């Protein structure tokens, strides 16, 4: 059992509790610290397991299933199917972003573009957006005009182009595509 000198007893420097109470405090502190450390380790382990699962789902298993030329496999009561995915969003760098927007406009994707001035304007209203922004600037209001495409809208556009066999520049658009294995428990 620790002595009173082993404890930070607060501003007054006096322990008003019994030695038994101080021992229970120390045990509870040790329990709290052990739980915090255990939780941190579990979170690290979970993060590593999720990373490994992502590698198996999007790399290892799709490659192996391609090797056996199958997009479908059943094992131990689980059905595994390969599906295509597209992920990503427009580049953040202004020059790269503008290049992506230009690519969309020249490949039937101009209607996806929105111009924002605290309000969203359709691509067809781009000039009105600039006019409103100019009016706000003349009135002394700071504003930001930005054009873009919502990430999920851009991903759907890419999936549709892939399905139609149309050209798509993944690098310019800030997208990537691949195959992912999805497992479903087969009902008995």
Pairing of strands 72-75, 114-116: unpaired
Is the overall model pTM greater than 0.75, yes or no?
no
pLDDT tens-digit map of 38-97:
999 999 999 999 999 999 999 999 999 999 999 999 999 999 999 999 999 999 999 999
Q: Do both 163 and 97 map to the same domain?
A: yes
Q: Is there a domain that residue 74 lies in?
A: no
Q: Is there a domain that residue 21 lies in?
A: yes
Q: Is there a domain that residue 133 lies in?
A: yes
pLDDT tens-digit map of 133-153:
888 778 777 777 788 999 999
Q: Do both 165 and 88 map to the same domain?
A: yes
CA distance 169 to 172: 6
Domain containing 174: what range? 82-185
CA distance 188 to 175: 39
Range in 29-38, 61-70, 101-110, 123-132 with the lowest mean pLDDT: 123-132
Q: Do both 86 and 169 map to the same domain?
A: yes
Q: Is there a domain that residue 70 lies in?
A: no
Q: Is there a domain that residue 65 lies in?
A: no
């Amino acid at each position: 059992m620790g002595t009173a000198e082993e404890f930070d007893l607060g501003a007054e420097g006096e322990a008003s509790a019994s030695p038994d109470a101080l021992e229970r405090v120390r045990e509870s502190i040790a329990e709290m610290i052990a739980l915090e450390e255990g939780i941190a380790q579990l979170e690290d382990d979970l993060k590593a397991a999720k990373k490994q699962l992502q590698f198996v789902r999007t790399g290892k298993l799709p490659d192996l299933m391609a090797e056996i030329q199958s997009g479908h496999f059943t094992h131990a009561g689980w059905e595994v199917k390969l599906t295509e995915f597209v992920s990503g969003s427009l580049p953040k760098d202004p020059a790269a972003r503008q290049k992506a927007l230009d690519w969309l406009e020249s490949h039937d994707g101009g209607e996806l573009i929105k111009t924002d001035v605290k309000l969203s304007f359709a691509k067809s209203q781009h000039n009105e957006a600039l006019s409103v922004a100019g009016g706000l600037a003349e009135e002394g209001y700071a504003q930001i005009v930005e054009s873009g495409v919502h990430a999920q809208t851009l991903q759907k556009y890419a999936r549709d182009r892939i399905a139609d066999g149309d050209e798509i520049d993944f690098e310019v658009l800030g997208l990537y595509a691949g195959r992912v294995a999805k497992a479903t428990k087969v009902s008995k």
